[in-house]
Structure 1
């Protein structure tokens, strides 16, 4: 199969010739614009140390949960795919790649195959379709390419056109890699940390006392008391802002919010440290702390992003063997309108407060998220991500939210990936899909073509910059 056949120039554009012509022009105007990636998971040390990539498996397969979870569903053990920090030698890395090639047909019709073909052809020059027969030759081709100086992480940042890249970071991280990048005049892109406090806001965790003790150590606050715990979180948020952070990221089972009296919050916090808080008390304190995060955001300016609705670590044996983020987080239903009323009642119209709402439950896009973003100045409708970052789902999102909030109350595309080389493919996919959506509005005489061009550009520049205060 030739590169042209694999990467058709009109992929994802409308089938109707007239509409497709409009979409082509729109896409041509935005395809070369820099990438703004305000929510992702690329390790910052890759860029700070400019660490060479070692092999195709650790670069393309092991970090990508979309790939390894599908292979696991087909019966491939995760340990053979380098998941959860499992070290693979050269022979092991090749076997993992063979698994992918042997099961390549599993990915037919999926966005994963779309992205990976884009990477294989566009970045690595692999023009043969993956199969059991081409496993070794494709592995060798990629290994040869990544051995070059022009394929180290910093060079790829330039090649991919990434101007802004956000990482996701523990509140206790010293952010030394971010500091090194910021101080390096030879490195142009902006790499920002993101404050991710989830585990420090879950009093029901068995290790909660240890976590907040560590938080106290790095912040210099006494977290034996609730007041000290709150000060410690405020301290670390300020530290992140000083190191370039623009947002905090939160993912819990729900976004129900409430405000406790300080005495009650203190009582539950003390019980949580002692391991005696009930599940109901722990949940109440977590919901209270989400409101506290919003309160802190009005003071330090961090954009607050919420993405609830994941049943984390669904398979206990896999969690025990491979740790979290090993492919078995499963979406569940979620509700926003009633749950966020307390938070938005207090801060929804506060000056400077911004809240981006993401979901794994697309039924709430038109029913809840868009109407909330259509009233509250603080609320933006987050783009489809994680299980929804597929062409059809992205199209449904545009249809679901545009009637209520147009284009400028949205977040811009979110790649949300640890798979570094998939970033340009994912953003290119989004640009094509937005061009197709806008072209249909033009063809239906619902939008002037000059307005469509302006919107197409704004969706990759102004819109994410506004939503994330860039």
Structure 2
């Protein structure tokens, strides 16, 4: 009989024994600090309805595009993983069969951060003692399903179990925020916060743009037939988000361009979009203009502006058409910030009421562009490694390339980016381990005193995220 599956207590800490000893001390000191999850995408409905997660496949597999994309790369299909149907293949509806496919593909996650998050959740949260495989799939499914069925495994209860002090959802700009109102009435208004996400409204050439503008108009209670009315409707909704407890906006543009248009040109392009005659070049220029406008509005209402460009969304057209956003294989592209953010930072980089956090998945720009920018403009913070970079070695490279120029105080601290609820504590645990290893090296190289390292470890894990997202 094989040994029970366990996780090493020093996982992701430095291999060198001396460095590991100091890292272990630092990690132990911050391991149980509360989690601040301000860059998340967990649906608000989970908390408002507080219902069961259903089954292991719905909790782990179906909503997690990190997980499904790896299995697709090994010849699985999204329909067989429960994501949806195509004309050629019906969706798999048996959650146990979906789980079996996931477990059979466990070996494909070796060496990836997804493996770390999954094993943390399975072992630490569910008490699984068998490594996933085709042979163990059914036994693990039954164990996880039994835990999910417990009353203590509802989303609100897990906020306490996971030590989540505050978590932000991501909500469309036209949201009526009724689910957040319910949460506030139930006493969770200070703990589960909305985030204003206007992306579909800022890209004039998206097929749904006019329908989305109509949704904005309905939510704001006004007609949006002109550019000026459009700006007013955005301001109205932003204020409603502020009143509902929001602390941030979120922008996932392809480019970081923030070049403003003059008012006359902006009105002309907006009218062309309403008439269905906007060009791709006009739409791109307008999206950069609107990032500038969003910054101007943030300087007025105090919402922190989060920007994470550099992702070519829906690289594969067929999965996107069949299954929608986040299922078409989003792929990183090179990003440019120095020139692109210059108009915005020139106007608002020293504004006392403006705060911006820039994320990237282009490692090349950490030391060359973002760290120098964050190291001088008081309004700008550099966000934590995000998406393809939230892996142990990439996190270490981030610390090494950004810290020497930006310092620690100009960073956001670790904030996760996930729809997979059970991966939140795992992601924060990994970040705290990696940061402890980096700080331990500084201590042993006599570049930082041990008491300072303890203080910085707590800053990165807890205090900096809170400071980066102040209440408006």
TM-score interval, normalised by the smaller of the two chains: over 0.9
Q: CA deviation at 1:332?
A: 0.4
Q: In the alignment, is residue 181 of structure 1 matched against residue 198 of structure 2?
A: no
Q: In the alignment, is residue 139 of structure 1 matched against residue 141 of structure 2?
A: yes
Q: CA deviation at 1:43?
A: 1.0
Q: In the alignment, is residue 283 of structure 1 matched against residue 284 of structure 2?
A: yes
Aligned partners of 1:188 and 1:49: how far apart in 2?
14
The match for 2:29 is 29
The match for 1:447 is 448
Q: CA deviation at 1:430?
A: 0.5
Gaps of 5+ in 1: none
Aligned partners of 1:89 and 1:267: how far apart in 2?
45
Structure-1-length-normalised TM-score: 0.97
Aligned partners of 1:2 and 1:466: how far apart in 2?
45
The match for 1:68 is 68
Is the 2:316–2:328 Cα contact (8 Å) retained in structure 1? no
Aligned partners of 2:274 and 2:356: how far apart in 1?
30
Over 3 Å counting, the alpha-carbon distance change for 1:347 and 1:40 in structure 2 is same
Aligned partners of 2:93 and 2:194: how far apart in 1?
35
Given candidates 104, 107, 115, the residue that maps to 1:105 is: 107
The match for 1:118 is 120
Is the 1:84–1:323 Cα contact (8 Å) retained in structure 2? no
The match for 2:438 is 437
Q: CA deviation at 1:221?
A: 2.5
Aligned partners of 1:303 and 1:83: how far apart in 2?
33
The match for 2:470 is 469
The match for 1:199 is 200
Q: CA deviation at 1:406?
A: 1.3
15-24 or 376-385: which moved more?
15-24
Runs in 1 of length 4+ with deviation above 3 angstroms?
88-91
Q: In the alignment, is residue 426 of structure 1 matched against residue 398 of structure 2?
A: no
Aligned partners of 1:366 and 1:139: how far apart in 2?
44
The match for 2:171 is 169
Q: Give CA-to-partner distance per residue, 1:352-404, whole Å, 9 cap, x none.
A: 10110100101101100000001100010111011110000000000011101
Q: CA deviation at 1:183?
A: 1.9
Q: Give CA-to-partner distance per residue, 1:249-289, whole Å, 9 cap, x none.
A: 00111011212111111011000111111111111111111
The match for 1:92 is 94
Aligned partners of 2:189 and 2:376: how far apart in 1?
38
Aligned partners of 2:389 and 2:91: how far apart in 1?
34
Q: CA deviation at 1:449?
A: 0.2
The match for 1:239 is 240
Q: In the alignment, is residue 208 of structure 1 matched against residue 223 of structure 2?
A: no
Is the 1:221–1:229 Cα contact (8 Å) retained in structure 2? no
Aligned partners of 1:456 and 1:104: how far apart in 2?
33
Q: CA deviation at 1:125?
A: 1.1
459-468 or 389-398: which moved more?
459-468
Aligned partners of 2:273 and 2:93: how far apart in 1?
47
Q: CA deviation at 1:85?
A: 9.1
Q: CA deviation at 1:214?
A: 1.8
SS in structure 2 of the partner of residue 165 of structure 1: strand
Q: Give CA-to-partner distance per residue, 1:167-189, whole Å, 9 cap, x none.
A: 1000111111111112213x586
Q: CA deviation at 1:469?
A: 1.3
Structure-2-length-normalised TM-score: 0.96
Is the 2:40–2:416 Cα contact (8 Å) retained in structure 1? yes
The match for 2:393 is 392
SS in structure 1 of the partner of residue 250 of structure 2: strand
Over 3 Å counting, the alpha-carbon distance change for 1:85 and 1:466 in structure 2 is farther
Over 3 Å counting, the alpha-carbon distance change for 1:169 and 1:373 in structure 2 is same
The match for 2:161 is 159
Q: Give CA-to-partner distance per residue, 1:137-157, whole Å, 9 cap, x none.
A: 111110111111111111111
SS in structure 1 of the partner of residue 36 of structure 2: strand
Q: CA deviation at 1:229?
A: 0.4
Aligned partners of 2:328 and 2:468: how far apart in 1?
29
Q: In the alignment, is residue 17 of structure 1 matched against residue 26 of structure 2?
A: no
Is the 2:382–2:411 Cα contact (8 Å) retained in structure 1? yes
Q: CA deviation at 1:222?
A: 2.2
235-244 or 257-266: which moved more?
257-266
SS in structure 2 of the partner of residue 164 of structure 1: strand
Aligned partners of 2:415 and 2:182: how far apart in 1?
25
Aligned partners of 2:119 and 2:36: how far apart in 1?
22
Q: CA deviation at 1:414?
A: 2.1
SS in structure 2 of the partner of residue 80 of structure 1: helix
The match for 1:298 is 299
Q: CA deviation at 1:207?
A: 2.4
The match for 1:57 is 57
Gaps of 5+ in 2: none
Is the 1:268–1:285 Cα contact (8 Å) retained in structure 2? yes
SS in structure 1 of the partner of residue 196 of structure 2: coil
Aligned partners of 2:80 and 2:325: how far apart in 1?
17
The match for 1:43 is 43
The match for 2:131 is 129
Aligned partners of 1:146 and 1:335: how far apart in 2?
44
Q: CA deviation at 1:103?
A: 1.1
